[in-house]
Amino acid sequence: MARYDKGHRDTTRRQILDVASAQFRESGIAAVGLAGIMSAAGLTNGAFYTHFESKEDLVRAVLLDALERREQRHKDNLKNGVALETTIRDYLSPRHRDHAATGCPTAALASEIARHPKSTREAFTGKMSDILALMAAQMPNGSAAERRRRALSAYATMVGALQLSRAVSDRQLSEEILENAVEAALTLAKGA
């Protein structure tokens, strides 16, 4: 039996998560099979079950990982005084639109997550709530409840606009969706 270096298991798990995350966001969860993920990760199918119980277990792990990374960016922005406007403009940029595989898992996967088991939806809900709280903390004026309401509205606007901008075939319309959503999200964030 071959022995692996210390940390090999963690490195392999990270590799599977990264490949699955990109493939899920690019093609959708339902369209991606375990064999394709493992092949792209340079691993055998049998190695999958050393790290995950099922595809659903992998989906949950990918969501938590991707949303924790997004949450960390929000924390870093808050700590470093990065304006919420910068976050909104970056989120609703053509670059983000054009790179779904490395972009927001919410915009890429929300419609599919709605059809997954409660445990997966609960994992998604918890992380999304954390991100909303961080957005609300960046908003000026108003009570905590008012800032949360505005964060919910702004986030929903951002996610929906990103999804629409990716779905339309007309590049000019796509740009228009993004530009108008930036203004709408900023208005919501400012409470004006």
Query: What's the pLDDT tens digit per position in 72-125?
Result: 998 998 899 899 999 999 999 999 999 999 999 999 999 999 999 999 999 999
Q: 85 and 189 in contact (C-beta within 8 Å)?
A: yes
d(CA 67, CA 159): 14
The yes-or-no verdict on residue 192 having pLDDT over 80 is no
Chain centroid, CA 68 distance in Å = 9
pLDDT at 1: 46
The pLDDT-based confidence of 2 (bands split at 50, 70, 90) is low
**Which spans in 28-170 are helix H?**
34-40, 45-51, 55-79, 84-91, 94-98, 105-113, 118-137, 144-167
- How far is CA 172 from each of CA 90, 166, 175, rounded to the nearest angstrom? 19, 12, 5
Structure confidence by residue, pLDDT tens digits, 24-72:
999 999 999 999 999 999 999 989 999 999 999 999 999 999 999 999 9
- Reported as a single tens digit per residue, the pLDDT across 171-190 is 999 999 999 999 999 999 99
pTM: 0.89
CA distance linking residue 66 with residue 120, whole number of Å = 14
What CATH topology corresponds to 56-190? Tetracycline Repressor; domain 2 (1.10.357)
Provide the pLDDT for residue 8: 79
Q: Per-residue pLDDT for 148 more than 80?
A: yes
Contact indicator for 182, 89 with CB cutoff of 8 Å: yes
pLDDT reading at 5 higher than 80: no
DSSP structural state of residue 52: -
**Residue ranges of the domains in the chain?**
56-190
